[in-house]
Amino acid sequence: VLGSSPVTIVVTPEANTWDIDTWDIDSSSRPGSGQFADWDEMPEPRQPAQIPRDVLNRPPKELKRLAREGCWATSPAGRAWLYPRLIQRVSCRLVTPDALVYRDVAGRLFGKPSVSSHPLPEFLEGCPVPTYRLNPRGVTALKKILICVGALFPDITHSPLLPALAALLLHYSEDEAQCFESISRLIASNAPGYIDQSFLAHQASCMTFGDLANKHCPAAHKLIAGAADSVLEVYSEWLSWLFPGLPFAYAVRVLDVFLLEGQKVLYRIALALLKQFRLSVTPAGLEGADVKAELREFARNIAEHVTVDKLLERAFGIRLFSRKEIWLLQMANRKALVERGITVVQRRPSFHLAVDMQNFSSSTVTAQEMRLVWSWIPERFSLFPPLLLFSTSEDGCSLQRFYTCCEGYEPTVLLIKTTEGEVCGAFLSSDWSERKKSGATSGFFGTGECFVFTVRPEAERYEWVFIKKPELAKAVPRSRQRSPSPAPESLLGSSRDSSSPNHLAVPSPQRKGRLSPFLAIRHFLLPSKTASMFMSGSRDGIVIGEGG
- Rounded to 5°, the CA angle 427-469-460 comes to 40
Per-residue pLDDT at 194 exceeds 80? yes
* Of 368 and 202, the one with more pLDDT: 202
Name the percent of the chain lying above pLDDT 70.
74
pLDDT of residue 376: 87
How many CA atoms lie within 13 Å of 511's alpha carbon, on the beta-carbon side?
20
DSSP conformation class of 189: B
Q: Looking at the predicted structure, is the pLDDT value of residue 439 above 90?
A: no
Q: Residues 229-251: pLDDT tens digits?
A: 888 889 999 999 999 999 999 99
Query: What residues does 428 pair with on adjacent strands?
Result: 412
Half-sphere exposure of 367 (CA within 13 A, CB side): 10
Res 482 pLDDT > 80 = no
At 467 the three-state DSSP class reads helix
Most confident range (mean pLDDT) of 5-9, 79-83, 342-346 is: 79-83
Instruction: Decide: helix, strand or coil at residue 116.
Output: strand
Arithmetic mean of pLDDT, 294-311: 94
Query: Sign of the C-alpha dihedral, residues 259, 261, 262, 265?
Result: negative
Q: State the CB neighbour count (10 A cutoff) for residue 470.
A: 18
Please give the angle made by the CA atoms of 81, 85 and 90, to the nearest 5 degrees. 150
Q: What domains are defined for the chain?
A: 55-188 (no CATH), 202-245+259-340 (1.10.472), 359-468+529-547 (no CATH)
For residues 456 and 421, the answer to whether their CB atoms sit within 8 Å is yes
| 83-97, 110-124, 271-285, 340-354, range with the lowest pLDDT | 340-354
Q: What residues have CB less than 8 Å from 199, skipping those under 6 apart?
A: 157, 158, 342, 346, 347, 348, 349
Nearest to 239 by CA among 214, 277, 274: 274
- 467 vs 427: CA distance, rounded Å: 16
The distance of Cα 342 from the centroid of its chain, to the nearest Å, equals 18
What is the rounded CA–CA span in Å between residue 13 and residue 38? 12
For residues 91-118, average pLDDT? 81
CB-based contacts of 463: which residues, under 8 Å, 6+ apart? 215, 451
The Cα 369–Cα 27 span in angstroms is 58
Contacts of 66-72 spanning 24+ positions with Cβ under 8 A: 67/256, 67/257, 67/259, 67/260, 68/257, 68/312, 68/316, 70/253, 70/256, 70/308, 70/309, 70/312, 72/256
pLDDT > 60? residue 500: no
pLDDT at 276 exceeding the cut of 90: yes
Please give the biggest Cα pair distance in the chain: 84
Is 498 a residue whose pLDDT tops 50?
A: no
Average pLDDT estimate for 476-495: 34
**Higher per-residue confidence, 165 vs 489:** 165
3-class DSSP string for 399-457? HHHHHHHHCCCCCEEEEEECCCCCEEEEEECCCHHHHHHHCCCCCEECCCCCEEEEEEC
Percent of the chain with pLDDT over 90: 38
Of the spans 44-53, 189-198, 281-290, 503-512, which averages the highest pLDDT? 189-198
Mean pLDDT value across the chain: 78
What mean pLDDT is predicted for residues 187-195?
84
Contact criterion met (CB below 8 Å) for 460 and 422: no
Q: Look at residue 358 and tell me whether its pLDDT is greater than 80.
A: no
335 close to 380: Cβ distance less than 8 angstroms: yes
Backbone CA torsion sign across 38, 39, 41, 44: positive
Confidence of residue 491 (pLDDT cuts 50, 70, 90): very low
pLDDT at 333 over 60: yes
- Using alpha carbons, list the distances in angstroms from residue 258 to 196, 410, 475: 14, 37, 35
pTM for the model stands at: 0.76
pLDDT winner (highest mean) among 49-53, 303-307, 489-493: 303-307
